[in-house]
Each structure stands twice: as structure tokens, then as C-alpha cells.
Structure 1
């Protein structure tokens, strides 16, 4: 089998140029790298989801107003959605296992993971909104959560995009 370098094989692309690997090797490497990223994110989102699920059993939960309960329920839904998105690549792997579809698996899993990261940013932002609203006040909560959203968009979306462009 001849070796090629360059091209795109899933979530790779620009960073793959200059590697001496076959398309199958590139797909395997991209899959392993994606799984490592998912392990990191999945652990964090599962801890956060578990924390959120315990809140109704705390004494002060009954003190939440309608807005705070709504934010809480949205956070639970988003957190469960993020968990589901981060587990989806495993389900895709099961469906495509031994079907010689690794490039498609990597590409689709990359897209699902990106969606999961977006949802996770919303969960973190909403968590700050809820906590600051309960502890300080609603105005501070909107400012703090807005700042967190800007920070996360910068770190998780703008910075990687700039890195790809070579900045």
C-alpha cells in the first residue's frame, strides 16, 4: 500500500500535512485523538450533570424563584444533552465497526463533539448565571454569565480558529 501525506481525513486536515501515513492510518490516529478529547470532556460534564441532579434535594432549593427554577431545568436538559453528544461517537463506532467507514466515523464524531462543546459552553454559562443569581443578584448574574460566555467563546472557538489560521 502506498503512503500519502496531506489531504483531509476527518478532523485532521491542515495538521496532517507532512505526515508519512496512509489514509487508514490517518483515520485511526484522528479517531484515537478524538477519543482522548472526549474522555476529558465527558468526565467534566458527567460531574457537572451529577452535581446539578443533586440540587433539588438541598434545603435551599425550595427558596428558588420561578426564573431560577427555569434556569435550573434548562441546565439539567442542556447538561444531559451534552453528555449524550459526548457519548454519541461511541454509538457511531458501534454502528460503523468493521465496515471500513473510519473516515466517515471521524468526520461525523468530530461534528457531534463540536456541538457538544457548544452545549457545554451554554451549561457553564447557565451555571454561572444560576449561582451568581442565588448568591449575589440577578444583575450581577447576567454580567457574570455574559463575561463567561464571551470568555468561553474566545477560548473554545475563536482561539482554535486563530490557531488553524496560523496566528
Structure 2
């Protein structure tokens, strides 16, 4: 069954939206901000917890590898937080300059970088927690499995959907 689409007919659907460049930029900005709200809150909470770890008595008992892993985790968390807050600062600084399409493109890049850095933060944090909790020889395999799951959910599936369902001109 063929359905009608915006601006199209039943036999020739319109593949795009009937929107100006500014309307498209506004829509994309609102969508991006909604996405950032989800990731930004989580990364800020994780980063806050990571900052407290160094002040616990157990931290001083950690070996050099675990302390170094912790430092890498904190730095990745700080970078992820910066990248995910960056679009808000970008928008605030360029607001009213009539460059929203460019601002959306840069904010999107910052958000993607934040997601990659969040992946690194979660990987390091999981590795550290599992090492400290169990000293299990399977820890690298468990972490690799979780990272594979993240990659599948965050990148592989979205890319597959994109290529599978994007019409070619």
C-alpha cells in the first residue's frame, strides 16, 4: 500500500521534507539537543562518581596499573563531558549570527566525539572495576564483549539502518 507523503502524491511520494534550510537547521538543532540531554546527564553523573574514587581509602591500595587505568578513565570522562557540553557553549556564542546550519554541523561533530569518548570512559571504568573486584583472568574478555555490544548498539546497527533504509537518488 502506498501512502501519501508531505508534498507528494500516492504514486510519487516526496522523499524529503518541505522545509527551508533554516527550518531544517532548527529541527536538527532540537533533535541534537534532545540526544545530548540523554548522554550529557549520564556522563556527568559517571564523571562525578569517578572524581570521588581517588578520595577513598581503598584507592591508595591499588597497584600502578589500576591507578593509571583510573587516571585514563578520569581524563576520558572529562573529555567526554567537555565534548557533550560543547554544543551548548557553541550555540550560546554563535546565537543570533545566522549560522545555525554550520553550528548544527559543529555541534553534531562535538556530540559524536563525546559519544566516542564516553565509550572509552565506560570501557576503562568497567575494566578497572572488574579488575579490582575480582582479579579474574577473564576480565579482558568480558570487557571486550561489552565493548563489542556498545559498538553494535551505538555504531553498527545505526550504520546498517542508515545504509539499508536510505534511498539512493
**Equivalence for 2:4:** none
Match of 2:161 in 1: 163
Looking at structure 2, the residues matched to 148 and 105 of structure 1 have their Cα atoms a distance apart, in angstroms, of 33
Contact 1:122 1:149 in 2 (8 A): no
Runs of 4+ in structure 1 deviating by more than 3 angstroms, as ranges, are none
Q: After the TM superposition, which residues 54-69 of structure 1 pair with which residues of structure 2 at under 5 Å, given as runs?
A: 54-69=52-67
Q: How far did residue 142 of structure 1 move? A: 1.2
Which of 71, 85, 104 is residue 87 of structure 1 equivalent to? 85
Larger Rg: 2
Instruction: Provide the aligned length of Structure 1 versus Structure 2.
Output: 153
Consecutive unaligned residues in structure 1, runs of 5 or more: 6-15
Q: Which residue of 1 aligns with 2:144?
A: 146
Name the SS of the counterpart of 1:166 in structure 2. Answer: helix
Residues in 1 aligned to 2:59 and 2:141: alpha-carbon distance in whole angstroms:
23
For the aligned residues, what is the CA RMSD? 1.6
Match of 2:49 in 1: 51
**Which residue of the partner structure matches residue 119 of structure 2?**
121
1:63-78 matches, within 5 Å, as 63-78=61-76
Deviation at 1:17, TM superposition (A): 4.1
Q: CA deviation at 1:85?
A: 0.1
- What TM-score, normalized to structure 2? 0.86
Q: Which ranges of structure 2 fall in alignment gaps of 5 or more residues?
A: 1-6, 8-13
SS at match of 1:106: helix
Quick one: distance in 1 between partners of 2:70 and 2:136? 14
CA distance in 2, matches of 1:76, 1:157: 24
Report deviation, 1:165: 1.1
Q: Normalized against structure 1, the TM-score is what? A: 0.87
